Amino acid sequence: MKRTGPIPWGIVRIDLHTHSSVSDGTDSPTELIAATRRAGLDVVALTDHDTTAGWEEAAEAASAEGIALVRGTEVSCKAGGVSVHLLSYLHDPQEPELARVLADSRESRFGRAREMVRRLAPETGLTWEEVSAQAQEGATIGRPHIADALVARGVVADRSAAFETLLSASGPYYVRYRAPEAAEAVRLVLRAGGVPVLAHPRAATRGRVVADEVVREMARAGLAGLESAHRDHTKQDRRHLHHLADELDLFTTGSSDYHGAGKPNQLGEHTTHAEVLALIEARGHLEVLR
Ligand code: AMP
Ligand code: FE
Ligand code: FE
Ligand code: ZN
């Protein structure tokens, strides 16, 4: 689909956090880029959980659609038992240490999902085959795939309902998976030439938010930015994060965290300033594909 007119000079719409079916989104990378175009965005980052497997397909589609692509990954990590998500932008996907840690997280997520299904089976009748059918071959497995299988089975109405009940991190069916400590993840990303940005630090959906002390520790390890504009943040959260970013000399981003049909998040519902993207590109090992 062609743009109907030129974009006003200097106005660039940038969404730096999206997921495809290579992890727990529902659009293929190609479909995601097409949706990006329809949403009127100019730049998108593909940030699937613990993988770079969607980059190549996204790059081809972005080139065909005239969308600029930031290659990224949302790195699973943890701090004090709380799950933390770290966005890495423009890192070298071949760098062995980060690649090894991501592969380990993917493997651990797989075993964890099987164990959750084993625990859920008596009450729900859920089978591993049903969950497996919800994920694309080779995708990073997550609770959303289990949620989709529960929806398909008629146990819950949608992903959100599944997360509020059976898949809750404080519930009896929840199982943890292996992931690096948050500050260590920052160091791994930097070593791979990536630009580390803490995803949705105040999102309370995982039970607890990322404590300021953890953010400070990550900043000491070289964190570059905080995702502040995100639908899981209140106005107060955003204000708090802007103060923290000032204190720690971090930039702030805004993004949708789009997951296709799996979540209400719409592409471009929050965006990032062009100057911030310039900082990211200046620090990253890879360039933004345009
Ligand atoms: P996991 O990483 O497997 O523990 O699952 C967490 C993922 O589930 C996150 O990446 C979110 O995209 C997704 N998620 C969390 N809460 C919800 C929700 N309420 N509705 C839909 N998806 C959710
Ligand atoms: Fe997700
Ligand atoms: Fe996340
Ligand atoms: Zn995300």
259 CB within 6 A, ligand 1:
yes
Question: How do residues 219-267 score in pLDDT, each as one tens digit?
Answer: 999 999 999 999 999 999 999 999 999 999 999 999 999 999 989 999 9
Q: Which of 64, 107, 54, 80 is nearest to 215 (CA)?
A: 80
What region, left, alpha or beta, does residue 86 occupy, with left being phi > 0 and alpha being psi -120 to 50 degrees?
beta
Q: Which pLDDT value is given to residue 6?
A: 53
Ligand nearest to the CA of 168: 1
CA 66 vs. chain centroid, Å, equals 23
**CA–CA gap between residue 268 and residue 16 (Å, rounded):** 9
Question: How do residues 116-162 score in pLDDT, each as one tens digit?
Answer: 999 999 999 999 999 999 999 999 999 999 999 999 999 999 999 99
Q: How far is the CA of 8 from the centre of ligand 3 (A)?
A: 32
144 CB within 6 A, ligand 1:
yes
**Sorting pLDDT into bands at 50, 70 and 90, what band is 9?**
low
CB atoms within 10 A of CB 155: 18
Which residue has its alpha carbon closest to ligand 1 atom 19?
160
The answer to whether 44 and 289 have CB atoms below 8 angstroms apart is no
143 CB within 6 A, ligand 1:
yes
Q: How far is the CA of 24 from the centre of ligand 2 (A)?
A: 5
Given a cut of 50, whether residue 2 has pLDDT beyond it is no
User: Residues within 5 Å of ion ligand 3 by Cβ?
Assistant: 85, 199
Instruction: Select from 18, 20, 22, 24 the residue to mutate for testing ligand 1; criterion: most ligand atoms less than 8 Å from CB.
Output: 24
Question: How do residues 68-93 score in pLDDT, each as one tens digit?
Answer: 999 999 999 999 889 999 999 999 99
Token pair 């974009």 in the structure block, residue:
7
260 CB within 6 A, ligand 1:
no
Ligand nearest to the CA of 262: 1
Given a cut of 70, whether residue 3 has pLDDT beyond it is no
Q: Which pLDDT value is given to residue 112?
A: 98
Given a cut of 70, whether residue 274 has pLDDT beyond it is yes
Give the predicted TM-score (pTM) of the model.
0.95
Return mean pLDDT, the chain: 95
* Angle subtended at Cα 42 by Cα 37 and Cα 44, rounded to the nearest 5 degrees: 85
**Sorting pLDDT into bands at 50, 70 and 90, what band is 204?**
confident
Which residue has its alpha carbon closest to ligand 1 atom 2?
142
Ligand nearest to the CA of 144: 1
Ligand nearest to the CA of 18: 4
Spell out the SS3 assignment of 158-186: CHHHHHHCCCCCCCCCCCCCCCCEHHHHH
**CA–CA gap between residue 215 and residue 149 (Å, rounded):** 35
Q: How far is the CA of 41 from the centre of ligand 3 (A)?
A: 21
Question: How do residues 243-256 score in pLDDT, each as one tens digit?
Answer: 999 999 999 999 99
Given a cut of 90, whether residue 37 has pLDDT beyond it is yes
Instruction: Select from 163, 173, 200, 259 the residue to mutate for testing ligand 1; criterion: most ligand atoms less than 8 Å from CB.
Output: 163
Q: Which pLDDT value is given to residue 275?
A: 96
The answer to whether 188 and 222 have CB atoms below 8 angstroms apart is no
